[in-house]
């Protein structure tokens, strides 16, 4: 076991990566997961759990990487914005009303929910049908929402009645997800997968060897930084995301917890925490689909600078409120606000239009920059 942990530490040093709230990739993810387990379980137990994983791919990858470190990263998801599936993401094993679907719709990403009400993901024929659809939608992405039950956490492993059986049950579904996700990766899309950070499922050989094969990235962070709450208070929920998108991994890992206190996730709040909070969905969408979400930019009018004096307090000791704010507070929302959202246009879209050229000339004249 000492040798085993030494190898893990060597891997981490070789990659120059830390383990807490950091992005790790490929072999360092395996090491990170094993170290998480080692922080809660006896060493012999960790060795037993990871022997199979390392036997199936980790050990080979580890020796290979040590002998010939490979720094080149695969270009997952590059150029997908030009493909037919550029704005499509499949949500694997989600709820019918998932927040990812709602947020996706709001920001122009088409989310196809693969929920149990519509498709049996344990049925081989359904998976084949899904694979043919995904293959036809080049550049599409996939996110996995398979549930990891609270009892299957490292700290509960010894108390669980039949943890191996539970792992085997979810392993079959995970393997189907990986089959579909590989099609997405091969046709230019991205994939992502999440479970609580200390979920025993991370030790599944299928997941470990997939991470190594595809050199996927991992981000660890606390759910409170992306909106997880219990009873209105921030709840910690340590989380791990695996993804092919380095941008998504970096953005997730950049979420730093600043709370001094957390409410424990218990009872109904544990169940509720399985639903992604909206800030997490927004971060995921803007990281995976910047070419869709950031298509519009805010624009506010430029006006000549003028000196403005401080608004005097009309009644001593009383903070006077501007009229427009007063009106808004009374429910009068019909105040014209000089702000716009502009759509960015290609040069080819406006050069042939006299009205567009005239509008540009007018704007230049108004800002005093006309030549
Ligand atoms: Zn926090």
Give 24's strand partners: 218
Measure 267 CA to ligand 1 centroid, in angstroms: 19
Q: What is the mean pLDDT of the chain?
A: 80
Measure 148 CA to ligand 1 centroid, in angstroms: 21
pLDDT for position 162:
52
Whether residue 200 is predicted with pLDDT greater than 50 in this model: the reply is yes
Whether residue 278 is predicted with pLDDT greater than 80 in this model: the reply is yes
Measure 218 CA to ligand 1 centroid, in angstroms: 20
Chain centroid, CA 295 distance in Å: 19
Per-residue pLDDT, averaged over 175-184, amounts to: 96
Measure 141 CA to ligand 1 centroid, in angstroms: 30
- Residue 304 binned pLDDT confidence (cut-offs 50, 70, 90): confident
pLDDT for position 2:
47
Residue with tokens 């791919």: 57
If you ran DSSP here, which 8-state letter would residue 201 be given?
Answer: G
The whole-angstrom separation of Cα 128 and Cα 176 is 10
Measure 73 CA to ligand 1 centroid, in angstroms: 32
- Residue 109 binned pLDDT confidence (cut-offs 50, 70, 90): very high
pLDDT for position 223:
93
Measure 361 CA to ligand 1 centroid, in angstroms: 51
pLDDT for position 245:
95
> DSSP per residue over 301-315, as a string?
--------PPPPPSB
Vertex 13 angle, CA 181 and 206, to 5°: 25
Whether residue 129 is predicted with pLDDT greater than 70 in this model: the reply is yes
Task: Out of 4-18, 59-73, 214-228, 344-358, give the one with best mean pLDDT.
Answer: 214-228
Least confident of 83-87, 92-96, 254-258, 264-268: 264-268
Both ends of the chain: CA-CA distance in Å?
Answer: 76
The whole-angstrom separation of Cα 175 and Cα 178 is 5
Measure 117 CA to ligand 1 centroid, in angstroms: 34
Query: Under a CB-based contact definition with an 8 Å cutoff, are residues 115 and 109 in contact?
Result: no
Least confident of 7-11, 222-226, 293-297: 7-11
- Residue 163 binned pLDDT confidence (cut-offs 50, 70, 90): low
pLDDT for position 97:
92
Whether residue 266 is predicted with pLDDT greater than 60 in this model: the reply is yes
Measure 269 CA to ligand 1 centroid, in angstroms: 16
Per-residue pLDDT, averaged over 33-37, amounts to: 86
List, as ranges, residues with CB under 5 A of the ion ligand 1.
Answer: 224, 234, 257, 259
pLDDT for position 63:
46
The whole-angstrom separation of Cα 77 and Cα 114 is 21
pLDDT for position 279:
95
Q: Tell whether pTM > 0.85.
A: no
Q: Which helix (H) or strand (E) holds 298?
A: strand 296-299
Q: Who's near 326: CB < 8 A, 6+ residues apart? A: none
pLDDT for position 297:
66
What CA–CA distances, in Å, run from 311 to 307, 320, 337? 12, 8, 20
Measure 226 CA to ligand 1 centroid, in angstroms: 9
Sign of CA dihedral 257, 262, 268, 270: positive
Whether residue 9 is predicted with pLDDT greater than 80 in this model: the reply is no
Whether residue 328 is predicted with pLDDT greater than 90 in this model: the reply is no
Q: Who's near 141: CB < 8 A, 6+ residues apart? A: 77, 80, 85, 88, 89, 90, 184, 189, 190, 191, 192, 288
Instruction: Provide, rounded to the nearest whole percent, the portion of the chain with pLDDT above 90.
Output: 33
Q: Is 14 exposed, middle or buried (0-12, 13-18, 19+ CB in 10 A)?
A: middle
């Amino acid at each position: 076991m000492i040798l085993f942990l030494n190898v893990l530490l060597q891997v981490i040093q070789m990659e120059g990566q830390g383990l807490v709230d950091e992005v790790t990739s490929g072999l360092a993810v395996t090491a990170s997961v094993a170290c998480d387990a080692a922080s809660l379980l006896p060493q012999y137990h960790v060795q037993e759990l990871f022997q199979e994983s390392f036997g199936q791919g980790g050990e080979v990858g580890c020796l290979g990487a040590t002998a010939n470190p490979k720094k080149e990263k695969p270009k997952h998801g590059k150029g997908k914005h030009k493909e037919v599936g550029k704005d499509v993401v499949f949500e694997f094993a989600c709820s019918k009303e998932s927040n990812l679907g709602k947020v996706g719709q709001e920001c122009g990403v088409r989310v196809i929910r693969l929920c149990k009400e519509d498709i049996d993901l344990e049925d081989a024929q359904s998976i084949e049908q899904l694979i043919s659809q995904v293959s036809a939608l080049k550049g599409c992405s996939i996110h996995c929402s398979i549930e990891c039950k609270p009892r299957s956490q490292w700290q509960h492993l010894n108390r669980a009645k039949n943890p191996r059986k539970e792992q085997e049950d979810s392993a079959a579904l995970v393997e189907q997800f990986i089959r579909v996700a590989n099609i997405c990766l091969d046709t230019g899309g991205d994939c992502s997968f999440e479970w609580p950070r200390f979920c025993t499922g991370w030790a599944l050989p299928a997941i470990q060897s997939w991470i190594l094969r595809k050199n996927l990235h991992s981000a660890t962070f606390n759910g409170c930084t992306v909106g997880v709450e219990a009873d209105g208070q921030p709840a910690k929920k340590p989380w791990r995301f695996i993804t092919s998108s380095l941008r998504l991994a970096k953005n997730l890992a950049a979420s730093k917890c600043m709370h001094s206190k957390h409410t424990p996730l218990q009872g109904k709040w544990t169940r509720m925490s399985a639903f992604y909070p909206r800030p997490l969905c927004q971060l995921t969408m803007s990281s995976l689909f910047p070419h869709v979400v950031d298509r519009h930019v805010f624009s506010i009018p430029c006006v000549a600078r003028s000196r403005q004096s401080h608004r005097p307090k009309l009644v001593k000791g009383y903070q006077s409120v501007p009229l427009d704010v007063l009106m808004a507070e009374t429910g009068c929302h019909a105040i014209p606000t000089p702000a716009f959202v502009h759509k960015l246009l290609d040069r080819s879209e406006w050069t042939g239009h006299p009205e567009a050229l005239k509008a540009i000339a007018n704007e230049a004249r108004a800002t005093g920059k006309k030549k």
